[in-house]
Structure 1
Amino acid sequence: MMKKTAIALICSMVLVAGCGSAENPFTQDNNVEENTENIETIDEEEVAEAATAQASVETMDENTEDPEADMAKASVLPAYEYPGPELFYSVLYQYIIDECGQHFEKADVGIPCLNIVAEDESDKNDIKVWGDFWYYNYELNGDTLEMVSGGSFPGCIHIKSTDEGYEVTEFEMVGDGADYTPTAKKIFGKHYDEFTKMNEDTEAKEKTRAQIIANYVAANNLEITQYKDYGWEPVKLPEENIDSFYSTLD
């Protein structure tokens, strides 16, 4: 835009010089060399000024973009990985991330929260895990993880033991709306009352959630001290040792 203005100004001055010459030919003859020098001087000065101004604008743009890029990089958190030693739970947690996380837009980090009701390992080809499986998306704000999306996926996950490790073969999920209770009773079977009781104990579920977040923070050496849901007060993360927590899952 500034270059176009400089060119327009130069053209205007040439026009003025031309009109003056038409009205007074003798002035044109006597001062043609002087006028030409003036026009050339204006041309060089205006173009130089325009170029300098344009360079300044480009520099400002670069300086404006760099801090934003740096902030964007700084806000990226490491992806969640199960920090415990058990391969079985590593596969289970990753499955929740892949299967349940796909229903939400990406955020700074997605962290699963498994509220396990019961497990049955009697058949290695069909290990069953009943529970209320949550997936939460968080954005980092200072030292706080703010939840921006997430959801509950109750049901039974079937896992097969293989030579390579473990593989999820099926996820029986509880239905929505009117289908919720009948499908929950069918899927949880004898564990249905335990499932209902667990869902009513919101304090215990939040304790599990806070511990899982704290373990993620500790495993990645992050300076995060709390998490927060929209409209609620922040919740401080516990300082319990990771190993002592995951040893209770054995």
Structure 2
Amino acid sequence: MPSEPRSAGAAKRAVVPGLAGLAVALILIGLALPRCLAAWNDRAGASVLWDLRAGKPAPESEVLAAAGQSLVASASRLPRGEALADGGYLLARAAESAADPARRVALSRSALAATERGLALAPANASAWARLAVLRVGAGDREGAAAALRLSFLAGPVVPALTASRLDLAFALLPALDGETRALLDRQIRITWILEPARIARLAEDRRLGFLIGRALDGVSEEDMILYRRAHPTP
């Protein structure tokens, strides 16, 4: 706050500190209030999220929806990308188990919007990009899904928890994948071969995928072979 001119009267000088202190207090309250509200809402949503991540059974759709909406609301007051993406995850899970088709569509749209907003703020989230790809497929946006899958591969090339789902999604989206994303898919196939060769062997049994997988494995490098031997040492 600009200082008062030195020529101001003593009475005026006495009032200014009081007003300044009040203004600072109001600003601090204004800054603290969203955090308090966010913490309150986060508690409801985060507990459901933690339970799911701990492997506990998912609650009913409406409980998931309320938790997701709670996280999204709190994250919107103080924009936080990861929390928005987490809210999108809960909303997506709620959509999966919703019995009413119209409710399922509405929740999927909310999940898509929250996930997109979250990734705009915190893009280094391979899981959220993969989830966005699935949500876009559900919305009929295959090109958008392919773009999200590409960013998932770039954000996290080696994410064991996503291995199977990303490969399945990529194979389903093959016609929509551009050259760069196909190259990333080839690399993902080689990474999966290093970590889980049995999975790649099973996929290669599918005639529709055999050529694609064979072409990807033709690109195995000496470095890949070293990593493979380390992961699967011979007795």
Q: Which has the higher strand share?
A: 1
Q: Which has the larger radius of gyration?
A: 1
Q: Is the shorter-chain TM-score for this pair beyond 0.5, marking a shared fold?
A: no
| Richer in helix (by share) | 2
- Between 1 and 2, higher relative CO (CA 8 Å, sep ≥ 6) is seen in 1
TM-score using structure 2 length: 0.31
